[in-house]
Amino acid sequence: MTPRTIIIVTGCSGSGKSTALATFEDAGFFCVDNMPVGLMPHFAAQSGEQATDSDVAGWAFGMDLRDKHFLDRHQEMIQVLKQNGYQTVMIFLHADEQILLRRYNQTRRHHPLGRGGSLLDAVRAEKQLLQPLLKAADHVIDTSHLSVHELKFAIFNIARQHTAISGMAVNVISFGFKYGTPAEADLVMDVRFLTNPYFVPALKPLDGESKEIQDFVLKDPETGLFLKSYLKLLDQLIPLYQKEGKAYLTIAIGCTGGRHRSVVIAQKVYEHIQRIQPTVRLIHRDIRFG
């Protein structure tokens, strides 16, 4: 049995550990911030039956100097986890001194070591204390000049190395404009310019899942030209959204009632994306109303 992965996210305060943990959560990990080192052996002992749970990609724990025992006991903790069949991966985040000072001044949060002295002294003391963790880390990320999106992308890449996750989930939704645009939509395409089968008496009672409606819509030369251009655009955009670090992308295809044209086009978009993106779902929101 392949061992499940436990990610330890550590490093300097203000270096982006919260963003990293949130990204692991989006990638399907069970995450806990400020996990006490003393609880890890209990976690390892009691979670054996969950080690094959396919709903969990792994575990990610934020651990740092907020727990005064972490530095002294982290090696012992990792050994216990390995003995219990877990693969452990340590990620160390850090940033330039001036960057950390600026981030703390912007957030106005207290530094874990800054209760009795200056912020600069606390930042320097923490960096010195964390040197053993920096040297032992499996992945070291300097976040000094990374945007939030760039950091999320870097974390997603690490998550993929240690799990079988497939990345961003894509939802394709057909809908009717007369019932409102889906609130969760990231991309909205209006296909009301296509010829409407609603005005063909023999086709009006059918919906876009029927062969008759599909033939009517897809045989229109305008539909073929549109699909060729739109699918090419999606092929360009989807990797860029994934690179940005989005966990979900919702593509909404709308016509007047959401029963005919949007259903057919959404189906074709879904089939196209499914070839390269297995985590895609198709929803016909208004097909029963149109």
What domains are there in the chain, each with its CATH number? 5-162 (3.40.50.300), 169-284 (no CATH)
How far is residue 171's CA from residue 12's CA, in Å, rounded to a whole number? 37
pLDDT category of residue 131 using cuts at 50, 70 and 90: very high
Per-residue confidence (pLDDT) for residue 149, from 0 to 100: 74
pLDDT above 60 for 147: yes
Query: Residue 16: CB partners within 8 Å, gap ≥ 6?
Result: 93, 95, 141, 143, 146, 148, 151
Top-confidence residue, 43 or 194: 194
Q: Which of 242, 249, 245, 243 lies closest to 270 in space, CA to CA?
A: 249
Per-residue confidence (pLDDT) for residue 167, from 0 to 100: 64
Burial (CB count within 10 angstroms: exposed 0-12, middle 13-18, buried 19+), residue 224: exposed
**Span 120-141, average pLDDT:** 94
For every residue of 138-157, DSSP letters joined together read SEEEE-TT--HHHHHHHHHH
Torsion of CA 273, 275, 279, 281, to 10 degrees: 50
How far is residue 126's CA from residue 13's CA, in Å, rounded to a whole number? 8
How far is residue 144's CA from residue 95's CA, in Å, rounded to a whole number? 5
Top-confidence residue, 16 or 156: 16
